[in-house]
Structure 1
């Protein structure tokens, strides 16, 4: 029976574990999960759950190696500290553990830092980039803001090394601060507030000041071979609220083909783009399963399970994805444990 370990993942790994477990081939799996929070949601889908130490670098890699040895893990699907793990992938392979991670360390390093990857994409025709500047002083921030707005752009900013929406802000004029106190929490901040925050330090970690993209946002979930050959791509448009649309958009499928042909990212990756003035522009590329992959899999393609088959070297046919689907989701309560003993 194949043993699979998900380390410190997002809560949505709960879905991916169930998708692999309920595979159409009735292939049996045993799932291991680790996280510093023993009540973390993805652990609830695992057969065995353990508390993970809060260490980094070489210590974390050693923890991973020891865990794989102790539990005879066949497939390791990491999210946390992917680069550190990929650096030592030969040590995992030596003990019989296959690791679902990009082995190209230069590429992986670039993908995990938006500035580096944008620099690598300059002067290529793979995907259009938004206008941007990278800054780490308040003076540079002010100059970048003035240059971008003078070109007719609205402006936003985000740390170059962050996941999802962490640190993302939109620069906008504030109309009434008191009214804002009674309204929803917002991602908007004024230039003055942002400048004062950045000016509180002589130097800060890299911030990317960018053209604000105001059109439709798409995530393109991609399945590829171990060698990086693109097997399928599913564009998923963020609609209103919790509604998503799976759409066959030739321009986005072409972007997925070009990214795969150039970078050969193995197993599963995700391309995020957003339109502005009719042009799809890159937000980022994630060399892992995305947070919304379980929605894209309603196209009829069980991407997590097919990725597991691929890393095992098992042959399979990729179904043709179903498009023109409108999809949403709801929370589902589950019992973590019963204190009464019943």
Structure 2
């Protein structure tokens, strides 16, 4: 597991943004009701707890409140309208990244991805690597991003644990749980970590792994039915 000081940063979304600001793109973020000048903010914004998981406690506001009630346990954050991604990251015991596998979260229910696909995106891999190595997170972690209005992927949060969609990363060719165990024992090298391939999954009662082309066909069928 990660050292306690690192966990205190990772599990506090405000501290996390402060630590990684200037290292990777982060959304504009302030404590709710702080003295921050929000007059330049226009359009939608997000309020959410500093600490929490999934989508619990998150609210989408159509505009920035004129005088929000002070609540240091809540954040007000720039709304990110673009596609959402999770990057599964494998690091050694010192937090040096060995692999970063991005996936697009195509459909999310209660904060959980029920349809997703692994994608090749060097920018996402780079940002996730910078974040994990800056924090020194060992073994498996999950870094979530969403694109802003300019298409830039900005940090949402980091989960210092194995994500529920890990079977998709394993299906892509990178068996992170096995490699993490080998890393714990000091028996893994860069050469032993395979490249990943693009693959997709749909979660219902079980998980089914399909090709990106099959996923595209399902998306078209869904749009026609709607």
TM class by smaller structure = 0.7 to 0.9
Task: Give 1:247's aligned residue.
Answer: 119
- 2:52 pairs, out of 130, 143, 162, with 162
- 1:127 pairs, out of 24, 30, 33, with 24
| SS of match in other structure, 1:165 | coil
Are the structure 2 counterparts of residues 209 and 329 from structure 1 closer, same or farther at C-alpha, using a change threshold of 3 Å?
A: same
Unaligned ranges ≥5, structure 1: 1-100, 174-189, 333-342
- 1:326 pairs, out of 177, 186, 200, with 200
Structure 1 residues 245-280: Cα deviation after superposition (integer angstroms, max 9, x where no partner): 210101111112322332221001111110012111
Task: Give 2:186's aligned residue.
Answer: 313
Task: Give 1:236's aligned residue.
Answer: 103
Are the structure 2 counterparts of residues 239 and 313 from structure 1 closer, same or farther at C-alpha, using a change threshold of 3 Å?
A: same
TM-score normalized with structure 2 length: 0.78
Q: Contact 2:100–2:128 at 8 Å: present in 1 too?
A: yes
More strand by share: 2
| SS of match in other structure, 1:147 | coil
Answering whether residue 88 of structure 2 is matched by residue 221 of structure 1, we say yes
- 2:62 pairs, out of 172, 181, 187, with 172
Answering whether residue 8 of structure 2 is matched by residue 109 of structure 1, we say yes
Structure 1 residues 113-134: Cα deviation after superposition (integer angstroms, max 9, x where no partner): 0111112223x2x211111210
- Aligned residue runs from structure 1 range 142-291, under 5 A: 147=38, 150-172=40-62, 204-240=71-107, 242-277=114-149, 278-291=151-164
Q: Distance in 1 between matches of 2:90 and 2:13?
A: 22
More helix by share: 1
Task: Give 2:177's aligned residue.
Answer: 304
TM-score normalized with structure 1 length: 0.53
CA root-mean-square deviation:
2.5
- Structure with higher Rg: it is 1
Q: Distance in 2 between matches of 1:217 and 1:159?
A: 19
Q: Distance in 2 between matches of 1:311 and 1:261?
A: 17
Aligned length: 198
Task: Give 2:210's aligned residue.
Answer: none
Unaligned ranges ≥5, structure 2: 109-113, 207-226
Q: Contact 2:10–2:159 at 8 Å: present in 1 too?
A: yes
